[in-house]
Structure 1
Amino acid sequence: MSDIAKQREAIIRKYFDGCNEANVEKMMHCFTKDAVHYFPPGLPDIPWRSARTIAEKWVWCVENFGSSWTIENVLVGADGYEAVIEWTHWKAKLGEALRGDEWYRFDPETGLITEIRAYYASRVDKERPMNELEGFDYAGRGYALKPPVQS
């Protein structure tokens, strides 16, 4: 893995650490000020615009849903300008989880995240405790089957 790929993966992992810690400042340090986070239709107030908005919205999810996240896979483009990850969003207070992917774009000068485009593995079904691809062997591929330990 190239040094630039390692740096991009590190910033994504720092962002997820900040999400899991509900640490606004830590998350904000991963983004350009004008970053945008896009989502599939159905959520209120989307897309989220600005580093502060993105960070504060995730803190709200931690406080209200018991949210935590695991990164399952990371792939960084050779030039370091883009990356894609697979993740699981655990919502402990709701007894739900959602799997999906995100496509990242980075600022070439600072290496900070400028854009995230989220895609869900399946349509959100509130009747299912785990929203994921039908028939995919998550356990067999080593994916997280429970949320990370909360402190």
Structure 2
Amino acid sequence: MTHSDQDRYAALIRRYFDACNEADYDKLVSCFTPDAVHYFPAGLPDVPWRSANTIARKWQWCVAELGSQWTIEKILVSHDSAEAVIEWTHWKTKLGTALRGDEWYVFDRDTCRIKEIRAYYASPADKGVAINELVAFDYHERGYHLKAQTTQPANAKTEEQS
């Protein structure tokens, strides 16, 4: 794999997160192969999410209903395979909560699109705390985002509008 491939995969992940935050259906779909799969830990309904369309619609719903915004904390792209791992924070601004976790990405080399994401949470989704994160990990000292950077798009289409 070349350094330019690594740069392309990192840029694709950033574009995907921008699309999530913007709730931009077309931009979201363009990040994935049509048959992409997004896996999650147990506890969420209707998982895994299968297809670029489903993934885009589910994230649009999260933005509309939960006030979801995401920040990327770290990105590591493999030097010898079409894979990457990131660390993220999912801010649910309407609920006043957040969840931290990691995702493993698998890319289609021919199209430079995401074909698989496997999400891992930093902790179980504990409804009794405002921010689900690692206990005693100094997020501030390590430069992590400590609040949502809300950029709710005025033109975001929800599932019902599309």
Bin the TM-score by the shorter chain. over 0.9
- 8 A contact 1:5–1:80 mirrored in 2: no
Structure 2 match to 1:149? 150
Residue 78 (1) aligns with residue 97 (2) = no
Which structure 1 segments of 5+ residues have no match?
A: none
Displacement after TM superposition at 1:102 (Å): 0.1
Distance, in Å, in 1 between the alignment partners of 2:105 and 2:131 is 24
Q: Show structure 1 runs of 4+ deviating over 6 A.
A: none
Displacement after TM superposition at 1:108 (Å): 1.6
The equivalences for 1:44-83 within 5 A come to 44-83=45-84
Tell me whether 79-88 or 69-78 shows the greater mean CA deviation.
79-88
Name the TM-score, length of structure 1 as normaliser. Answer: 0.98
Q: Tell me how large the CA RMSD over aligned residues is.
A: 1.0
Paired residue secondary structure (1:116): strand
Higher relative contact order (CA 8 A, sep 6+): 2
Q: What whole-Å deviation, never above 9, does each CA across 1:73-95 have from its counterpart, x for those lacking one? A: 00000035000000000000111
Which structure 2 segments of 5+ residues have no match?
A: 153-162
- The one-letter code of the counterpart of 1:19 is C
Displacement after TM superposition at 1:149 (Å): 2.9
Name the TM-score, length of structure 2 as normaliser. Answer: 0.91
Assess, with a 3 A threshold, how the Cα gap between structure 1 residues 14 and 80 changes in structure 2: closer, same or farther. farther
Structure 1 match to 2:155? none
Q: Share of identical aligned residues, percent?
A: 62
Residue 25 (1) aligns with residue 15 (2) = no
Displacement after TM superposition at 1:67 (Å): 0.2
